[in-house]
Amino acid sequence: MKLLAGNSNRALAEAVASHLDLPLTKAQVKRFADNEVWVTIDENVRGEDVFVLQSTSYPTNDNLMELLICIDALRRASAKRITAVMPYFGYARQDRKTGGRTPISAKLVSNLIERAGADRVLTMDLHSGQIQGFFDIPTDNLLSAPLLAADIKENYEKTNELMIVSPDVGGVVRALGVASRLNAELAIVDKRRSGPGKSEVANIIGDVSGRRCILFDDIIDGGGTLCNAAQALVDGGATEVSAYVTHGVLSGAAIDRVNSSILKELVMTDSISASDAPSDKSKLRYVSCDKLLGEAIRRIANEESVSKLFD
Protein backbone atom coordinates (compact mmCIF):
# COMPACT_ATOMS: atom_id res chain seq x y z
CA MET A 1 0.00 0.00 0.00
CA LYS A 2 1.18 3.51 -0.86
CA LEU A 3 -0.22 6.94 0.00
CA LEU A 4 0.29 9.81 -2.42
CA ALA A 5 -0.60 13.38 -1.45
CA GLY A 6 -1.53 16.31 -3.64
CA ASN A 7 -1.09 19.92 -2.54
CA SER A 8 -4.65 20.64 -1.37
CA ASN A 9 -4.28 19.43 2.22
CA ARG A 10 -0.73 18.33 2.93
CA ALA A 11 -1.12 18.52 6.71
CA LEU A 12 -4.04 16.07 6.69
CA ALA A 13 -2.18 13.71 4.36
CA GLU A 14 0.82 13.70 6.70
CA ALA A 15 -1.45 13.01 9.69
CA VAL A 16 -3.11 10.10 7.86
CA ALA A 17 0.30 8.73 6.91
CA SER A 18 1.40 8.97 10.54
CA HIS A 19 -1.72 7.09 11.68
CA LEU A 20 -0.97 4.34 9.14
CA ASP A 21 2.75 4.37 10.04
CA LEU A 22 3.39 4.77 6.33
CA PRO A 23 5.65 7.33 4.60
CA LEU A 24 4.08 9.47 1.89
CA THR A 25 5.03 8.34 -1.60
CA LYS A 26 7.80 10.46 -3.08
CA ALA A 27 6.38 12.59 -5.84
CA GLN A 28 6.54 16.07 -7.33
CA VAL A 29 3.31 17.96 -7.97
CA LYS A 30 4.32 21.29 -9.44
CA ARG A 31 3.28 23.98 -11.93
CA PHE A 32 4.75 25.15 -15.22
CA ALA A 33 5.08 28.90 -15.72
CA ASP A 34 1.61 29.04 -17.31
CA ASN A 35 0.15 27.17 -14.29
CA GLU A 36 -0.16 23.78 -16.03
CA VAL A 37 0.03 20.94 -13.50
CA TRP A 38 3.11 18.74 -13.76
CA VAL A 39 3.40 15.46 -11.83
CA THR A 40 6.14 12.88 -11.55
CA ILE A 41 6.19 9.86 -9.23
CA ASP A 42 9.69 9.45 -7.79
CA GLU A 43 9.42 5.82 -6.66
CA ASN A 44 8.24 2.51 -8.07
CA VAL A 45 4.47 1.93 -7.81
CA ARG A 46 4.15 -1.02 -10.20
CA GLY A 47 1.65 -3.53 -8.83
CA GLU A 48 0.93 -1.37 -5.77
CA ASP A 49 -2.37 -0.45 -4.09
CA VAL A 50 -2.13 3.38 -4.19
CA PHE A 51 -4.33 5.91 -2.38
CA VAL A 52 -4.28 9.51 -3.67
CA LEU A 53 -5.38 12.00 -0.99
CA GLN A 54 -6.66 15.26 -2.44
CA SER A 55 -9.59 17.47 -1.47
CA THR A 56 -11.03 19.41 -4.40
CA SER A 57 -11.42 22.60 -2.38
CA TYR A 58 -10.25 26.13 -3.26
CA PRO A 59 -8.69 26.56 -5.78
CA THR A 60 -11.16 23.88 -6.86
CA ASN A 61 -10.22 23.50 -10.51
CA ASP A 62 -6.48 23.43 -9.81
CA ASN A 63 -6.86 20.78 -7.13
CA LEU A 64 -9.18 18.71 -9.32
CA MET A 65 -6.64 18.76 -12.17
CA GLU A 66 -3.89 17.74 -9.73
CA LEU A 67 -5.99 14.74 -8.69
CA LEU A 68 -6.75 13.71 -12.28
CA ILE A 69 -3.14 14.02 -13.40
CA CYS A 70 -1.86 12.11 -10.33
CA ILE A 71 -4.29 9.29 -11.14
CA ASP A 72 -3.20 9.27 -14.78
CA ALA A 73 0.49 9.18 -13.79
CA LEU A 74 -0.14 6.22 -11.47
CA ARG A 75 -2.16 4.34 -14.10
CA ARG A 76 0.62 4.77 -16.66
CA ALA A 77 3.14 3.64 -14.00
CA SER A 78 1.22 0.32 -13.71
CA ALA A 79 -0.24 0.75 -10.24
CA LYS A 80 -2.45 -2.26 -9.47
CA ARG A 81 -5.32 -0.27 -7.92
CA ILE A 82 -5.83 3.47 -7.54
CA THR A 83 -8.18 4.92 -4.93
CA ALA A 84 -9.07 8.62 -5.07
CA VAL A 85 -9.34 9.74 -1.43
CA MET A 86 -11.33 12.97 -1.49
CA PRO A 87 -12.14 14.18 2.04
CA TYR A 88 -14.08 17.02 0.39
CA PHE A 89 -15.73 16.39 -2.98
CA GLY A 90 -15.96 19.69 -4.84
CA TYR A 91 -18.89 20.36 -7.18
CA ALA A 92 -21.08 18.15 -4.97
CA ARG A 93 -23.68 20.90 -4.63
CA GLN A 94 -24.33 20.74 -8.37
CA ASP A 95 -25.92 17.30 -8.16
CA ARG A 96 -29.09 17.94 -10.18
CA LYS A 97 -30.58 20.31 -12.73
CA THR A 98 -31.94 23.35 -10.89
CA GLY A 99 -33.39 24.97 -14.00
CA GLY A 100 -33.31 24.97 -17.75
CA ARG A 101 -29.91 24.70 -19.49
CA THR A 102 -27.96 23.99 -16.28
CA PRO A 103 -25.32 21.26 -15.84
CA ILE A 104 -25.04 18.38 -13.41
CA SER A 105 -21.41 19.12 -12.61
CA ALA A 106 -21.07 16.48 -9.89
CA LYS A 107 -21.75 13.82 -12.53
CA LEU A 108 -19.21 15.37 -14.89
CA VAL A 109 -16.52 15.36 -12.18
CA SER A 110 -17.36 11.72 -11.37
CA ASN A 111 -16.87 10.82 -15.04
CA LEU A 112 -13.54 12.64 -15.15
CA ILE A 113 -12.21 10.75 -12.11
CA GLU A 114 -13.26 7.42 -13.60
CA ARG A 115 -11.82 8.15 -17.04
CA ALA A 116 -8.54 9.31 -15.48
CA GLY A 117 -8.13 5.75 -14.17
CA ALA A 118 -9.40 5.61 -10.56
CA ASP A 119 -10.57 2.15 -9.49
CA ARG A 120 -12.51 3.36 -6.46
CA VAL A 121 -13.33 6.52 -4.51
CA LEU A 122 -13.24 7.28 -0.79
CA THR A 123 -14.89 10.51 0.34
CA MET A 124 -16.66 11.97 3.37
CA ASP A 125 -20.13 13.45 3.90
CA LEU A 126 -21.21 13.90 0.30
CA HIS A 127 -23.66 16.76 -0.04
CA SER A 128 -26.23 14.26 -1.29
CA GLY A 129 -26.10 10.49 -1.13
CA GLN A 130 -27.12 9.95 -4.74
CA ILE A 131 -23.70 11.20 -5.90
CA GLN A 132 -22.39 7.71 -5.02
CA GLY A 133 -24.55 6.49 -7.89
CA PHE A 134 -22.80 8.88 -10.31
CA PHE A 135 -19.77 6.58 -10.14
CA ASP A 136 -19.62 3.17 -11.81
CA ILE A 137 -16.77 2.17 -9.50
CA PRO A 138 -16.94 1.33 -5.76
CA THR A 139 -17.48 4.52 -3.74
CA ASP A 140 -17.30 4.74 0.05
CA ASN A 141 -18.92 7.76 1.70
CA LEU A 142 -17.58 8.14 5.24
CA LEU A 143 -19.75 9.81 7.87
CA SER A 144 -18.38 12.48 10.18
CA ALA A 145 -21.29 12.03 12.63
CA PRO A 146 -19.45 9.64 15.01
CA LEU A 147 -16.39 11.92 15.05
CA LEU A 148 -18.32 15.13 15.70
CA ALA A 149 -20.74 13.49 18.16
CA ALA A 150 -17.74 12.34 20.20
CA ASP A 151 -16.42 15.91 20.26
CA ILE A 152 -19.83 17.20 21.42
CA LYS A 153 -19.88 14.67 24.26
CA GLU A 154 -16.39 15.75 25.27
CA ASN A 155 -17.15 19.47 25.29
CA TYR A 156 -20.75 19.57 26.53
CA GLU A 157 -21.29 18.13 30.00
CA LYS A 158 -25.10 17.86 29.97
CA THR A 159 -26.02 16.49 26.56
CA ASN A 160 -29.63 16.08 27.71
CA GLU A 161 -29.97 19.88 27.51
CA LEU A 162 -28.87 19.92 23.89
CA MET A 163 -31.03 20.18 20.81
CA ILE A 164 -29.54 19.27 17.44
CA VAL A 165 -30.80 21.55 14.69
CA SER A 166 -30.82 20.98 10.94
CA PRO A 167 -30.34 24.34 9.17
CA ASP A 168 -32.65 23.20 6.36
CA VAL A 169 -35.08 20.43 5.52
CA GLY A 170 -32.55 18.72 3.23
CA GLY A 171 -30.14 18.10 6.11
CA VAL A 172 -32.63 16.40 8.46
CA VAL A 173 -31.26 12.87 7.96
CA ARG A 174 -27.72 14.10 8.61
CA ALA A 175 -28.69 15.96 11.79
CA LEU A 176 -30.84 13.05 12.96
CA GLY A 177 -27.80 10.77 12.82
CA VAL A 178 -26.01 12.99 15.35
CA ALA A 179 -29.10 13.50 17.51
CA SER A 180 -29.63 9.74 17.83
CA ARG A 181 -26.03 9.24 18.94
CA LEU A 182 -26.48 11.87 21.66
CA ASN A 183 -30.06 10.93 22.60
CA ALA A 184 -30.93 14.55 21.86
CA GLU A 185 -34.04 16.08 20.36
CA LEU A 186 -34.15 17.45 16.84
CA ALA A 187 -35.36 20.80 15.48
CA ILE A 188 -35.46 22.04 11.89
CA VAL A 189 -34.98 25.48 10.41
CA ASP A 190 -37.30 26.09 7.48
CA LYS A 191 -35.00 27.91 5.07
CA ARG A 192 -36.07 29.60 1.86
CA ARG A 193 -33.39 30.22 -0.77
CA SER A 194 -33.86 33.31 -2.94
CA GLY A 195 -30.78 32.63 -5.09
CA PRO A 196 -27.32 30.99 -5.09
CA GLY A 197 -25.69 31.66 -1.72
CA LYS A 198 -28.71 33.62 -0.45
CA SER A 199 -31.23 32.30 2.07
CA GLU A 200 -33.62 33.47 4.77
CA VAL A 201 -35.29 31.73 7.71
CA ALA A 202 -39.05 31.29 7.32
CA ASN A 203 -39.86 29.19 10.40
CA ILE A 204 -38.44 26.95 13.14
CA ILE A 205 -39.94 23.49 13.53
CA GLY A 206 -39.58 22.46 17.18
CA ASP A 207 -39.49 24.20 20.56
CA VAL A 208 -35.99 25.59 21.15
CA SER A 209 -36.90 27.77 24.12
CA GLY A 210 -34.35 27.39 26.93
CA ARG A 211 -32.27 24.89 24.96
CA ARG A 212 -28.60 24.84 24.01
CA CYS A 213 -28.76 24.38 20.26
CA ILE A 214 -26.16 22.85 17.95
CA LEU A 215 -26.58 23.45 14.24
CA PHE A 216 -25.28 20.51 12.23
CA ASP A 217 -24.51 20.73 8.51
CA ASP A 218 -22.17 19.30 5.88
CA ILE A 219 -20.83 22.52 4.32
CA ILE A 220 -20.34 26.13 5.37
CA ASP A 221 -19.50 28.37 2.44
CA GLY A 222 -20.41 32.03 2.82
CA GLY A 223 -21.76 31.47 6.33
CA GLY A 224 -25.05 33.29 5.79
CA THR A 225 -27.27 30.24 6.24
CA LEU A 226 -25.76 29.20 9.59
CA CYS A 227 -25.52 32.74 10.96
CA ASN A 228 -29.13 33.53 10.02
CA ALA A 229 -30.30 30.23 11.50
CA ALA A 230 -28.38 30.90 14.73
CA GLN A 231 -29.99 34.32 15.09
CA ALA A 232 -33.43 32.85 14.46
CA LEU A 233 -32.84 30.20 17.14
CA VAL A 234 -31.80 32.83 19.72
CA ASP A 235 -34.83 34.91 18.78
CA GLY A 236 -36.88 31.75 19.38
CA GLY A 237 -35.58 31.42 22.94
CA ALA A 238 -32.41 29.30 22.63
CA THR A 239 -29.88 30.05 25.39
CA GLU A 240 -26.86 29.54 23.12
CA VAL A 241 -26.10 28.28 19.62
CA SER A 242 -23.01 26.51 18.28
CA ALA A 243 -22.43 24.93 14.86
CA TYR A 244 -20.75 21.70 13.81
CA VAL A 245 -19.91 21.39 10.12
CA THR A 246 -17.97 18.76 8.17
CA HIS A 247 -16.47 20.89 5.40
CA GLY A 248 -15.32 24.45 6.07
CA VAL A 249 -15.24 26.04 2.61
CA LEU A 250 -15.35 29.52 4.23
CA SER A 251 -15.32 31.65 1.09
CA GLY A 252 -15.34 35.43 0.93
CA ALA A 253 -16.13 37.14 4.23
CA ALA A 254 -17.39 33.94 5.87
CA ILE A 255 -14.97 33.99 8.81
CA ASP A 256 -15.70 37.62 9.64
CA ARG A 257 -19.40 36.84 9.38
CA VAL A 258 -19.08 33.92 11.80
CA ASN A 259 -16.94 35.86 14.27
CA SER A 260 -19.43 38.73 14.39
CA SER A 261 -22.48 36.45 14.62
CA ILE A 262 -24.42 35.13 17.61
CA LEU A 263 -22.70 31.73 17.23
CA LYS A 264 -20.75 30.61 20.29
CA GLU A 265 -18.32 28.56 18.18
CA LEU A 266 -17.97 26.89 14.81
CA VAL A 267 -16.42 23.42 14.84
CA MET A 268 -15.24 21.82 11.58
CA THR A 269 -13.22 18.84 10.43
CA ASP A 270 -9.94 19.46 8.62
CA SER A 271 -11.21 17.91 5.37
CA ILE A 272 -10.32 21.30 3.87
CA SER A 273 -6.98 22.77 4.84
CA ALA A 274 -7.29 25.11 7.81
CA SER A 275 -4.28 27.09 6.58
CA ASP A 276 -6.49 28.72 3.94
CA ALA A 277 -8.38 30.55 6.67
CA PRO A 278 -7.30 33.98 8.02
CA SER A 279 -5.44 34.09 11.33
CA ASP A 280 -8.39 35.40 13.34
CA LYS A 281 -10.14 32.19 14.38
CA SER A 282 -11.74 33.32 17.61
CA LYS A 283 -14.84 31.21 17.04
CA LEU A 284 -13.34 28.54 14.78
CA ARG A 285 -12.13 25.16 15.99
CA TYR A 286 -11.01 22.11 14.01
CA VAL A 287 -11.41 18.39 14.72
CA SER A 288 -9.06 16.19 12.72
CA CYS A 289 -10.50 13.41 10.56
CA ASP A 290 -7.07 11.77 10.08
CA LYS A 291 -7.87 8.66 12.14
CA LEU A 292 -11.22 8.16 10.39
CA LEU A 293 -9.64 8.41 6.94
CA GLY A 294 -6.61 6.37 7.95
CA GLU A 295 -8.70 3.53 9.34
CA ALA A 296 -10.92 3.53 6.23
CA ILE A 297 -7.83 3.35 4.00
CA ARG A 298 -6.42 0.49 6.06
CA ARG A 299 -9.69 -1.44 5.85
CA ILE A 300 -9.97 -0.95 2.10
CA ALA A 301 -6.37 -2.12 1.59
CA ASN A 302 -7.04 -5.21 3.74
CA GLU A 303 -10.42 -5.90 2.09
CA GLU A 304 -12.26 -5.35 5.40
CA SER A 305 -15.65 -3.74 6.08
CA VAL A 306 -15.70 0.07 6.07
CA SER A 307 -19.29 0.32 7.32
CA LYS A 308 -18.25 -1.11 10.69
CA LEU A 309 -16.60 2.25 11.38
CA PHE A 310 -20.10 3.65 11.96
CA ASP A 311 -21.56 0.91 14.18
**Residues tagged in the binding site annotation for ATP:** 34-36, 93-94
Q: Cite the annotated binding site by residue number.
A: 34-36, 93-94, 127, 168, 193, 217
Helix (H) or strand (E) holding 68: helix 60-76
Strands of the chain (E only): list them: 2-5, 27-31, 37-41, 49-53, 81-86, 120-124, 139-142, 162-166, 185-195, 198-205, 212-220, 240-248, 266-269, 284-287
Beta 27-31 vs 37-41: how paired, if at all? antiparallel
Catalytic residue (choose from 191, 198, 283, 308): 191
Q: Are 238 and 208 in contact (CB under 8 A)?
A: yes
46 bridge partner residues: none
**DSSP SS3 for 139:** strand
Task: Provide the annotated binding site for D-ribose 5-phosphate.
Answer: 193, 217
Q: Catalytic site residue 30?
A: no
* Nearest CA-CA partner of 127 in 250, 221, 203: 221
Q: Check: CB of residue 306 under 8 Å from CB of residue 85.
A: no
Q: Which residues are catalytic?
A: 191
